[in-house]
Structure formats: C-alpha cells, structure tokens
C-alpha cells in the first residue's frame, strides 16, 4: 500500500500556488476535489484494464504492466509508444515538482522562516531563481542517493508526517479562531474528517517505518538535517524583528520629543527617519 499512497499523492502541490489564484477560497477547494476524483477515476480505469488483459497472474509477473497491456493489444510498436508516453508524463511530473515546491521556499523566506536569499526574485522575470536552483540541486542529490524503492520510502515517511502535522494544526487554529470568526474557510466535516485524515497518515507512517526501518530512518535523518538550518533562520528572524521593534519604539519616542521642540526640529526628524530606513531593513 506504500507505493499506492504515493501514487495518489501530489494533490497538496495545488495549494502551493494559492497566492497566485484570483479566488483561492473557491477555486482551490474545487480544484483539489475535482483533481483527486479525476485521478481516482483514471487509476481505477487503468487497474481494470490491466486486470482484464493480463489477469492477476500476468499482472503479478510483469514489472511494466502498461507496456505489457499495449504489447498484447498492438504489439511491440504499441509497447514502445506507451513507454514514450510514460516518459513524457514523467517529465511533466518533474516539471510541476520543480516549479511548485520552490514557491514554498520563497514564501518561507519572505516570512522569515528560511534563508532570506532564497526569497530573491529575478528583476526581469519575477521568478524565485535561488529557490528553483535549491530545489533542483536537492532533487538531484536525492535521485543519485539510491534506488527508486529506497527513495520512495524516504518520501512516504516524511511526506505523511508533514500531512499529519499540517492537518493537526487545524485543531489549534480552530481553538484560536472560532468558526464564527469572519473570513475563515471552514473544512467540511471537521473535526471528524480532520481526525480521520490524521489517523490515516499516522497509520501509513507506522507501516512504512515498520516495513522499511532503514530507509525510513534515512528519510528522517534528512528531515532533521533540513530542520536545523530552518530553526536557525527562524531564530535569526525573531532576533531581527525584536531589534526592529526596539528601533521602532526608539524612533517613535524621538519623533515625539522632536515635535515637542517645535518646527526647527523637523529637518532632524526627517533625517532620523532616513537613517532608520537605511539601518533597519525590512524582513
């Protein structure tokens, strides 16, 4: 079931581009529901055809079921064409991964949760170049680190930990912001649907770790290795914001005092504001 769980993944990347939607409150939820239903229907149709053509014994004996089905239907030429189509589909999947995940790094950097340089945008194209390079280099290193099955176990254990923690945060937000608060998007069926999703994620993580402990441990080590600089960046951001708050308070106090002196203090106030803008950059 572990590869199956990964096969149905990917829906979460739609939320990475929510900031670029005109009406994310409406379009994001609809897109997620329609996308998941479409993928489920497509996968069930593919499984039905494979079982119908190859039968259970033939499906268990092949490592390339799509090519085997097309070979039975159209011969070797059909097998080559479906292999070519799968390769194109793989490139499409890699493309969306490369282009959507850097938006998360960019947003984290802009919010002070990641290195500030990762949030840099190209002045010509407006693209988060550093974030894309970081994603590409990281993906290349992971791709060269082991076999497909090993990497899949890395991803599944870490992925579903992230899913479960993200869903769990909804309970915290609901406690802080009641359902009657204006402007909130309410998850349908909460807390039952949310709790069921968290339990399903926990079950998948437990099954992955118990079945593939070594590979899961490597994935968790990678996660901890990534968390360390994130925590350090968060600490520096908090320190910078604290310094900026103290600077703002000092500036406001100086402004009040300068106003009390009279009109002759106005040039000094303007100069003080200019100095403040140079010395205290925005985060």
Average pLDDT over every residue of 195-211? 89
Q: What is the pLDDT of residues 157-196, one digit of tens each?
A: 888 888 899 899 999 988 888 777 777 777 888 889 999 9
The tokens describing 107, both together, are 């947003």
- Confidence (pLDDT) at 196: 94
**Between residues 250 and 214, the one the model is more confident about:** 214
Scored b (16 or more CB within 10 A) or e, 171-188 reads eeebeeeeeeeeeeeeee
Q: What is the pLDDT of residues 231-279, one digit of tens each?
A: 666 666 666 655 565 555 565 555 555 555 554 444 444 444 444 444 4
Would you call 63 helix, strand, or coil by DSSP?
coil
Show me where the domains of the chain are located.
Answer: 229-283
- Confidence (pLDDT) at 89: 87
The Cα 121–Cα 106 span in angstroms is 9
Residue 230: its H or E element: helix 213-261
pTM comes to 0.66
- Confidence (pLDDT) at 241: 59
Q: How confident is the model at residue 84 (pLDDT cuts 50, 70, 90)?
A: very high
The Cα 65–Cα 55 span in angstroms is 11
Q: What is the pLDDT of residues 8-38, one digit of tens each?
A: 778 888 888 787 788 887 888 888 889 889 9
pLDDT at 55 over 50: yes
Q: What is the pLDDT of residues 98-131, one digit of tens each?
A: 878 888 888 888 887 788 888 898 888 888 899 9
Helical pair 266-279 and 213-261, crossing angle rounded to 10 deg: 170
């Amino acid at each position: 079931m572990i590869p199956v769980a990964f096969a149905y993944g990917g829906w979460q990347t739609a939320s990475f581009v929510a900031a670029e939607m005109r009406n994310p409150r409406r379009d994001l939820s609809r897109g997620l529901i329609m996308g998941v239903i479409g993928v489920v229907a497509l996968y069930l149709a593919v499984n039905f055809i494979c079982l119908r053509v190859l039968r259970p014994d033939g499906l268990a004996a092949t490592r390339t079921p799509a090519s085997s089905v097309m070979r039975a239907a159209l011969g070797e030429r059909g097998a080559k064409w479906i292999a070519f189509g799968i390769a194109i589909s793989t490139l499409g999947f890699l493309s969306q991964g490369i282009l959507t995940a850097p938006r998360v790094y960019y947003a984290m950097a802009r919010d002070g949760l990641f290195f500030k340089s990762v949030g840099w945008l190209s002045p010509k194209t407006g693209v988060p170049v550093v974030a894309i390079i970081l994603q590409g280099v990281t993906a290349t290193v992971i791709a060269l680190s082991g076999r497909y099955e090993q990497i899949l176990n890395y991803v599944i254990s870490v992925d579903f930990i992230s899913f479960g923690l993200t869903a769990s945060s909804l309970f915290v937000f609901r406690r802080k912001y009641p359902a009657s608060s204006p402007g909130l998007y309410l998850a349908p069926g909460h807390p039952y649907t949310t709790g069921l999703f968290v339990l399903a994620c926990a079950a998948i993580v437990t099954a992955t770790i118990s079945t593939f402990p070594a590979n899961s441990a490597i994935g968790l080590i990678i996660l901890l290795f990534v968390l360390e600089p994130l925590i350090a960046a968060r600490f520096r951001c908090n320190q910078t914001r604290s310094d900026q708050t103290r600077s703002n308070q000092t500036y406001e106090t100086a402004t009040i005092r300068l106003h009390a002196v009279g009109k002759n203090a106005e040039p000094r106030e303007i100069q003080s504001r200019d100095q403040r803008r140079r010395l205290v950059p925005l985060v």
